[in-house]
Amino acid sequence: MFNKIIKRGHRKLSKADANEAAVFGYSSGYRNSGSVSTSNVTVNHASRTTIPSSVQQQQQQGGFGLNQGSSITTGIVETLPLFRDVAIADRQTLFIRKLQLCCILFDFSETLKLVREKETKRQTLLELVDFIQSGSGKINETCQEELIRMISVNIFRCLPPASHENTGVEVVDPEEDDPYLDPAWPHLQLVYELLLRYIVAADTDTKIAKRYIDHSFVIKILDLFDSEDPREREYLKTVLHRIYGKFMVHRPFIRKAINNIFYRFVFETERHSGISELLEILGSIINGFALPMKEEHKLFLVRALIPLHKPKCIGMYHQQLTYCITQFVEKDYKLADIVIRGLLKYWPLTNCQKEVLFLGELEEVLEATQSAEFQRCMVPLFRQIGRCLTSYHFQVAERALFFWNNDHIVGLIAQNRNVILPIIFEALEKNIQYHWNQAVNGLTVNVRKMFLEMDTELFEECQRQYQEKVALAKDLEEQREQAWKRLETLVKGKAGAEDMVV
């Protein structure tokens, strides 16, 4: 609750504010001053009074049965007639007036203030959504421009500061901390729904729409993915996916922009609320990649996706990341070696829970790996698995031993047992002798028995080498102890001789 109160009192600037005036025709000054201006509309926060210029002109001219002297202020919001109550020829003009009414922004931190005006705007937004969804009238280019302008005024806003900015906590667990819910969501949801219906509408001409849903608009949509409200991120995910599907001209730009978000997250901030949603979109995009895969897509895997294993908060998006990674390997099995070596590069040293996640992902990648690619990386891979087998954290050791429950992985191991068994034999023997966890002991015995049945001769040779290594280590330890004893005796003798001289 304290976090939510703090968030209401502070706002942080969107990264795309500097470009707003050039793209949408309104000043970015509203971020600080509390007002929004467009060429046809002036919008203020609910605490201020404003009359949009275009609405003033239309009111002076009269129309739709409204009194000419009525005005739109924060205290009095004009009630416009329904679309069905006006002539078809007048609906486009009424549509614009309703859009202009919806440009008025309200302060939702005070729930009991301007309740009627907020409800009027909500009902107007509902009617606009129904109008677009019904397809009762194709909206012209002017209406489309006004529609995107109204959407921009409402959704491109200052996001509240993130939780860590208020609490100082490094990594916030979404399961332990209640997510921030934007109080303006009753209006924002309908604005997002309106945008979504406009994009997916069959009569929306992409040649016209791309003039307003341009690169700057896409960048601002991507900036909003940092919102802490999960409801907003869910809508943003759907909207961006639809834009990617409908506007083919924007596809390379969207992929590059997501790339840049990942770069900043991995190498600079390690804080972003929407990484999992962006990865969900990418999972669908990767699934549609044509074969043979372009070099651009392979670079995206190496430079953006694999480094996402570095941040501490990987648990918040690991499921979506694993899906994207396995999609690449299933599309092109030759990428398995690159992926596995990438995982080994970012393998955690002290974070056991993260290590369990890596082992789970590694198993999924190995399921899609062919024998030739497996052979390229099996030596460093099983050196790491050997270290996991002897981990004192039982979940890590147990998860590594579960690899031998996977038939495909066991098949790969059996084909290359001459290389793999000598690498991990010592780890298996140490587990049986010294590991504290009974479950790990039992699983290790099963794996050891499996290798014995695969190749008895190889197993006995590895056992002989291990016994020789143990004996050699024991001899070295005895030699070390004897050397220390001789040194102690020599020091005692020297000290006694000095005492006799004195």
Q: Domain total for the chain?
A: 3
Residue 356's DSSP bridge partners are: none
Of 338, 348, 412, 351, the C-alpha closest to 382 is: 412
415 and 350, same domain (yes or no): yes
- Residue 143 in 3-state DSSP? helix
User: H helices within 247-317, ranges in order?
Assistant: 251-264, 275-287, 295-300
65 and 195, same domain (yes or no): yes
Measured CA to CA, the distance from residue 285 to residue 255 in angstroms comes to 9
Could you tell me if residue 494 is inside a domain? no
Q: What amino acid is encoded at 269 in this protein?
A: T
Q: How many CB atoms lie within 10 A of CB 47?
A: 12
User: H helices within 102-229, ranges in order?
Assistant: 115-134, 141-155, 163-167, 185-200, 206-209, 215-223
Q: Rounded to an integer, what is the distance from CA 156 to the centroid of its chain?
A: 20
248 and 367, same domain (yes or no): no
14 and 102, same domain (yes or no): yes
148 and 16, same domain (yes or no): yes
Q: What is the pLDDT of residue 14?
A: 44
Could you tell me if residue 478 is inside a domain? no
- Residue 274 in 3-state DSSP? coil
324 and 346, same domain (yes or no): no
* Cis amide bond preceding 292, omega within 30: yes
Domain that holds residue 441: 341-454
* Residue 385 contacts residue 421 (beta carbons within 8 Å): no
Could you tell me if residue 146 is inside a domain? yes
Could you tell me if residue 40 is inside a domain? yes
Task: Examine the fold and report which residue of 331, 360, 392 is the final residue of a domain before the chain moves on.
Answer: 331
Measured CA to CA, the distance from residue 181 to residue 1 in angstroms comes to 11
327 and 437, same domain (yes or no): no
User: Tens-digit pLDDT profile for the chain (502 aa)?
Assistant: 444 444 444 444 444 444 433 333 333 333 333 333 333 333 333 333 333 344 344 433 334 433 333 333 444 577 888 888 888 888 889 999 999 999 999 888 888 888 889 999 999 999 999 999 887 667 889 999 999 999 999 999 988 887 656 555 555 555 556 788 888 999 999 999 999 999 999 888 899 999 999 999 999 999 999 999 999 999 999 999 999 999 999 999 999 999 999 999 999 999 999 999 999 999 999 999 999 999 999 999 999 999 999 999 999 999 999 999 999 999 999 999 999 999 999 999 999 999 999 999 999 999 999 999 999 999 999 999 999 999 999 999 999 999 999 999 999 999 999 999 999 999 999 999 999 999 999 999 999 999 999 999 999 999 999 999 999 999 999 999 999 999 998 888 887 777 666 5
In sequence order, the 6+-apart residues with CB closer than 8 A to the CB of 13 are: 31, 158
Q: Phi, psi (5° rounding) for residue 455?
A: -155, 95
Of 346, 368, 359, 279, the C-alpha closest to 319 is: 279
Q: How many CB atoms lie within 10 A of CB 248?
A: 10
237 and 147, same domain (yes or no): no
* Residue 44 contacts residue 34 (beta carbons within 8 Å): yes
- Residue 426 in 3-state DSSP? helix
Q: What amino acid is encoded at 252 in this protein?
A: P
Q: What is the pLDDT of residue 95?
A: 92
| Residue 38 burial (C-beta neighbours within 10 Å; 0-12, 13-18, 19+) | buried
Could you tell me if residue 322 is inside a domain? yes
198 and 88, same domain (yes or no): yes
Measured CA to CA, the distance from residue 502 to residue 497 in angstroms comes to 9
Could you tell me if residue 92 is inside a domain? yes
Q: What is the pLDDT of residue 38?
A: 34
Q: What is the pLDDT of residue 365?
A: 97
197 and 237, same domain (yes or no): no
In sequence order, the 6+-apart residues with CB closer than 8 A to the CB of 19 are: 216, 219
**Both structure tokens of 199:** 């994009």
309 and 251, same domain (yes or no): yes
Could you tell me if residue 336 is inside a domain? no
* Residue 380 contacts residue 344 (beta carbons within 8 Å): yes
Task: Examine the fold and report which residue of 275, 301, 331 is the final residue of a domain before the chain moves on.
Answer: 331
Task: Examine the fold and report which residue of 308, 331, 354 is the final residue of a domain before the chain moves on.
Answer: 331
288 and 403, same domain (yes or no): no
Could you tell me if residue 477 is inside a domain? no
